[in-house]
Amino acid sequence: MPKAPSADADGGEPQPVAGGGLLHRRALLHRGLVLASATAAGTAAAQTGTDTGESRPPWMRTPGQPFTSYGQPSKHEAALMRTIAGNRLLPGNGVSWTPLEDLEGMITPSGLHFERHHNGVPQIDPKQHRLLIHGLVKQPLQFAVADLERYPMRSHLGFIECGGNSNAGWHPEPIQRSVGGFHGLVSCNEWTGVPVSVLLNEAGLDPKAAWAIAEGGDAFAMNVSLPLAKLMDDALVALYQNGEPIRPEHGYPLRLVVPGWEGVLNVKWLRRLHLSAEPVMARNETAKYTELQPDGHARQFTFVMEAKSLITSPSPGLRMHGPNVYEIRGLAWSGHGRIRKVEVSVDGSSSWATAALQDPVLPRCFTRFRAAWRWDGKPAVLKSRATDETGYVQPEREMLVQERGLNGYFHYNAIVAWAVDAEGALTHVYA
């Protein structure tokens, strides 16, 4: 087999593949590369495993805790939590952010999935809850949750992202927050339920039906219009989140899941699908989730979340610990399908190296990327750039602002830059 010249399998020095010390994406798998953070094992008994009795740590000297009926995180991880930004007068209206910088892999734990509620979390009795399908159908139908349980199900492993996620990126000055506090209105879960197409086919579609108005069973009775073609393609009436019944804050007992499309369309506590010929022009598709562009026209029905990526580590709030080899870690996703490529730059876009994509790479789903970086201790500017399977490339901020102006509020997906100073501190910059 030909040897990759830049990632020497024999333990030689991995060679840079881009400016600033970015190494080949396979470099981290090779011997030659010492991350030098473990303490060298000495000869003390604990380090050789021959310690006994009092010399062992306390948790090895008494029996452990008994079983728990529902597991909880370690008490040492009590700081791992969502950041809440509720409305003072109406605490049920607001958001909570996922701490993206503290998580690994591609799945967001259910308890850390971001939240966006317009009027709080309804406490729904699943026995009383119904889903009504009506309007331009041959036969209106009503489903109890137990009825839906009997239909064939399917899972979608995918992200839900609020259309307003990352909107601080439109600020004239770069805001300084953690990755989660800036971009954490996106999370990735396994959603399982009944394909909407199965239920609509059972009701029988009137040929005039082109839209469905989905309504939630919260005190806001939030509603949105969805093109019928998307619902028939891959939308789900989800009952399960990460394998268990959906958490109350994410739509218990039923939620619409619309893969890759704006968060607001994923109606929680779903109670109605009203088939119609036209959209309903609800508040969340007219007053909100639309935006004025430089040419004076408003963008409306911007359903798909475009490709985006972020470096979650290192990132603002975290620190570099001296010159060394680091694994740059991040997340990429696209509402159009699979992520094809993520590139990383540590010299502010002068040069780019291709990051490794961790399997599985699924459509409309978080994709974890990793790149090896030998930091020499000098100031650097870190960026990541995603390309999806349609060939769409995540734009630099300047390009996005040129195209959309600064009246924007939604759909901010520009390349994000972190500056590293000589002390190893990170800040958000426009570069």
CA atoms within 13 A on the CB side of 272: 15
Task: Give the footprint of ligand MTE on residues 266-305 (CB under 6 A).
Answer: 266-269
Tokens of 76: 């040492």
Task: Give the footprint of Mo ion on residues 246-265 (CB under 5 A).
Answer: 263-264
Contact between 307 and 332 under an 8 Å Cβ cutoff? The reply is yes
Residue 303 and residue 166: Cα distance in Å, rounded?
Answer: 16
- Which listed option, Mo ion, ligand MTE, none, makes contact with residue 182 (CB within 5 to 8 Å by class)? none
C-alpha of 365 from chain center: 8
- Least gap, CB of 254 to ligand MTE (angstroms): 10
Judged by CB under 6 A, which of 102, 115, 285, 306 binds ligand MTE?
Answer: 115
116 or 368: whose CB is closer to ligand MTE? 116
21 or 184: whose CB is closer to ligand MTE? 184
Strand partners, 245: 240
Contact between 229 and 280 under an 8 Å Cβ cutoff? The reply is no
| Site size toward ligand MTE, by CB under 6 A | 19
- Which listed option, Mo ion, ligand MTE, none, makes contact with residue 269 (CB within 5 to 8 Å by class)? ligand MTE
Residue nearest ligand MTE by beta-carbon distance: 216
Sole window of 11-19, 110-118, 274-282, 292-300 interacting with ligand MTE (rule: CB under 6 A) = 110-118
Interacting residues of 91 by C-beta distance below 8 A, sequence separation 6+: 120
Site string for ligand MTE, 251-270 (x = CB under 6 A): ------------xx-xxxx-
- Least gap, CB of 242 to ligand MTE (angstroms): 12
Residue nearest Mo ion by beta-carbon distance: 162
- Least gap, CB of 410 to Mo ion (angstroms): 9
162 or 236: whose CB is closer to Mo ion? 162
* DSSP letters for 55-70: GS-GGGTS------SS
Judged by CB under 5 A, which of 106, 162, 213, 415 binds Mo ion?
Answer: 162
Contact between 344 and 355 under an 8 Å Cβ cutoff? The reply is yes
CA atoms within 13 A on the CB side of 174: 18
Q: Does 412 bind ligand MTE (CB under 6 A)?
A: no
- Least gap, CB of 264 to Mo ion (angstroms): 4
Closest CA to 239 of 270, 208, 265, 262: 270
Task: Give the footprint of ligand MTE on residues 213-242 (CB under 6 A).
Answer: 216, 218, 220, 222
- Which listed option, Mo ion, ligand MTE, none, makes contact with residue 330 (CB within 5 to 8 Å by class)? none
Residue 349 and residue 339: Cα distance in Å, rounded?
Answer: 20
Judged by CB under 6 A, which of 7, 23, 33, 160 binds ligand MTE?
Answer: 160
Tell me how many helices (H) and strands (E) the chain has. Answer: 6, 26
Residue 231 and residue 209: Cα distance in Å, rounded?
Answer: 12
C-alpha of 426 from chain center: 22
- Which listed option, ligand MTE, Mo ion, none, makes contact with residue 118 (CB within 5 to 8 Å by class)? ligand MTE
List phi, psi (to 5°) of 359: -70, 150
- Which listed option, ligand MTE, Mo ion, none, makes contact with residue 122 (CB within 5 to 8 Å by class)? none
249 or 343: whose CB is closer to ligand MTE? 249
CA atoms within 13 A on the CB side of 308: 29
Tokens of 371: 């790149």
- C-alpha angle 176-182-187 in degrees, rounded to nearest 5: 155
Q: Does 162 bind ligand MTE (CB under 6 A)?
A: yes
- Least gap, CB of 362 to ligand MTE (angstroms): 19
- Which listed option, ligand MTE, Mo ion, none, makes contact with residue 272 (CB within 5 to 8 Å by class)? none
Contact between 237 and 193 under an 8 Å Cβ cutoff? The reply is yes
Closest CA to 133 of 277, 274, 276, 279: 274
- Which listed option, ligand MTE, Mo ion, none, makes contact with residue 343 (CB within 5 to 8 Å by class)? none
Contact footprint for Mo ion (CB under 5 A): 116, 162, 263-264
Contact footprint for ligand MTE (CB under 6 A): 113-118, 160, 162, 216, 218, 220, 222, 250, 263-264, 266-269
